[in-house]
Structure 1
């Protein structure tokens, strides 16, 4: 049996996140104020344009496996004028980076084997 974990309705998913975010904000307002300040600070740049920031955000969203981030930054990337082709190239960087991380950690396994009475 396979489970389909695709998000079929991104608008509904986004609305649900916003509702839960309001709940967390009521429970811990200082946390959400801090997150908002961090987000505003990261989006206030002098050298990167909005499209570049969103391309970076999408690549990071993929590497951290954050669906909410994918939702938010795909919308922002589209609004900033990013094309599917540009996003695909940014995602290629994310894919390669994840492969590189797996390779690096594979080398740690070899080190652990050597250090484990090898």
Structure 2
């Protein structure tokens, strides 16, 4: 096991209390945002959690991975489904590095003497 994901999830939930004490409106808004996710019913919970995990990987958020892995299991996500979704995340990250490499080359060219 690379990390204790159950502990990560639990620790993040406990730590949220300190943020809530200092900025309750933000935490209320964050919770409302999460509750609104899927409100239209267009995507099922399984699909939403696969997307969430792929995004969590691309944004490198361990807390997001822990929370959405737990929710994905509850939604019935299998290892094979997650592996395919993560393949998309891996391909996108490589693609993003390629596109931003083009931008860096363009920026360098902008500053020619």
Which interval holds the TM-score relative to the shorter structure?
over 0.9
Q: Deviations over 1:54-106 (max 9, x none)?
A: 00000000011110100010111111111000000000000111111100011
Q: Give 1:43's match in structure 2, choosing from 33, 38, 41.
A: 38
Q: CA RMSD in A?
A: 1.4
TM-score, length-normalised on structure 2?
A: 0.93
- Taking structure 1 as the reference length, the TM-score comes to 0.89
Structure 1: runs of 5+ lacking an equivalent? 1-5
Q: Which runs of 4+ in 1 moved over 3 A?
A: none
- Matched residues in 2 for 1:61 and 1:74: separation? 10
List per-residue Cα deviations over 1:7-56 (Å, max 9, x = no partner): 53222221111111011111111110000111111132321000000000
Aligned length: 113
Aligned 8 A contact 1:59 1:93 in 2? yes
- Higher RCO (CA-CA < 8 Å; seq separation 6+): 2
Partner residue, 2:23: 28
